Amino acid sequence: MPNMMRTRWLPVLMLALSLLAAGAPTPARGQGGSVTLNLVSWSYGVEIVRDNIGKFQQRYPGVTVNYNDFSWATYHDAMVARFVSKTPTDVLYSSDHWLQEWAAAGWIVPVDEQFPQVRQYLTEYSPFVREALTYKGRIYGTPYYADTFIFVYNTDHLQQAGLATPPATLEELTRQAETIKAKGIAEFPIVLGWGQQDPFSIESFTSLVFAQRNGSLFDKDLTPTFKAPGSAAEKVVTWAADALGSRKVLSPTSLQAANVDQIRALQSGAASFGIIPSYSLAVLNDPGQTQLAGKFKIGLMPGESHATVGFIRFYAISSQVPRRGKEAMTAAWSFVDYFGGKTDGEYRVTKRWSLEKGLGFAQTALFADKDIRAAFGKWADVDMLQKQAQLARAKEGMTPYYGTWDVFSRAELHKAYLGQQKPAETLGNMAKKWEELKAKAK
The reply on whether position 2 binds another protein by CB under 8 A is yes
Considering the complex, what minimum distance in angstroms separates the CB of residue 253 from another protein?
4
Burial 371-380 (b: 16+ CB within 10 A, else e): ebeebbeebb
The reply on whether position 280 binds another protein by CB under 8 A is no
Pick from 327, 286, 310, 421: nearest CA to 364: 310
Return d(Cα 203, Cα 242) in angstroms, integer.
20
The reply on whether position 1 binds another protein by CB under 8 A is yes
Return d(Cα 302, Cα 132) in angstroms, integer.
24
Stretch of 133-141, 158-166, 214-222, 397-405 contacting another protein, by CB under 8 A: 397-405
Task: Kindly tell me which of 84 and 365 has the beta carbon lying closer to another protein.
Answer: 84
Considering the complex, what minimum distance in angstroms separates the CB of residue 252 from another protein?
4
Which residues in 218-257 contact another protein (CB under 8 A)? 251-257
Return d(Cα 395, Cα 140) in angstroms, integer.
17
The reply on whether position 17 binds another protein by CB under 8 A is no
Return d(Cα 386, Cα 381) in angstroms, integer.
9
Greatest CA separation for the chain: 98
Site string for another protein, 193-222 (x = CB under 8 A): --xxx-------------------------
Beta bridge partners of 218: 224
Considering the complex, what minimum distance in angstroms separates the CB of residue 136 from another protein?
13
CA angle 272–277–281, rounded 5-degree value? 55
Which residues in 133-192 contact another protein (CB under 8 A)? 187
Which residues in 88-117 contact another protein (CB under 8 A)? 101, 104-106
Return d(Cα 30, Cα 38) in angstroms, integer.
11
- Report in angstroms the alpha-carbon separations of 418 from 238, 241, 322: 11, 6, 48
Considering the complex, what minimum distance in angstroms separates the CB of residue 243 from another protein?
14
The reply on whether position 420 binds another protein by CB under 8 A is yes
Size of the site for another protein (CB under 8 A): 51
The reply on whether position 324 binds another protein by CB under 8 A is no
The reply on whether position 439 binds another protein by CB under 8 A is no
Burial 286-305 (b: 16+ CB within 10 A, else e): eeeebebbebbbbbbbbbeb
Binding stretches for another protein (CB under 8 A): 1-2, 5, 8-9, 12, 15-16, 19, 76-77, 80-81, 84, 101, 104-106, 187, 195-197, 251-257, 261, 264-265, 268, 270, 400-401, 403-404, 407-408, 410-412, 414-415, 418, 420, 429, 433, 440-441
